[in-house]
Structure 1
Amino acid sequence: MSNPQYAAFTALDPFFDVVMRGMADDVDGNHYFEAIADDAIFEFRYVFPNFPTQTVGRDALMALYSSYGDGTVLHSGDGLVVHRSQEPGVLILEYEVHGKKLHTGKAYDNRFVSVVTIKDRKVVHWRDYMDSLAAYAAETDAAL
Structure 2
Amino acid sequence: MTDSVESFSTMLRKALGDRIAADAATFLDMMADDGVMEFPFAPPGLTTRLEGKAAIARHLDSLGEMIAFDGMGEPTVYATTDPDVTIVEFEGFGHGVSTGEAYDQRYISVIRTHAGRIVQYRDYWNPLVVLRALRGGAAVDALVGGVADHG
TM-score of the aligned structures, taking structure 2 as reference length: 0.82
The unaligned stretches of length 5 or more in structure 2 are 141-146
Indicate yes or no: 2:42 matched with 1:42: no
Structure with the greater alpha carbon radius of gyration: 2
Indicate yes or no: 2:118 matched with 1:123: yes
Query: Which whole-Å CA distance do the structure 2 matches of 1:111 and 1:11 have between them?
Result: 16
2:37/2:121 contact within 8 Å kept: yes
Query: What residue is the counterpart of 1:103 in the other structure?
Result: 98
The unaligned stretches of length 5 or more in structure 1 are 1-7
- The amino acid that maps onto 2:16 is M
Identity %: 25
Q: 1:84-103 residue pairs with structure 2 within 5 A?
A: 84-103=79-98
1:11/1:68 contact within 8 Å kept: no
Query: Which whole-Å CA distance do the structure 2 matches of 1:113 and 1:43 have between them?
Result: 12
Query: Which whole-Å CA distance do the structure 2 matches of 1:135 and 1:79 have between them?
Result: 20
**Cα-to-partner distance string for 1:4-48 (whole Å, 9 max, x where unaligned):** xxxx63343333332222112210211111010000121111123
Structure 1 stretches of 4+ with a deviation exceeding 4 A read none
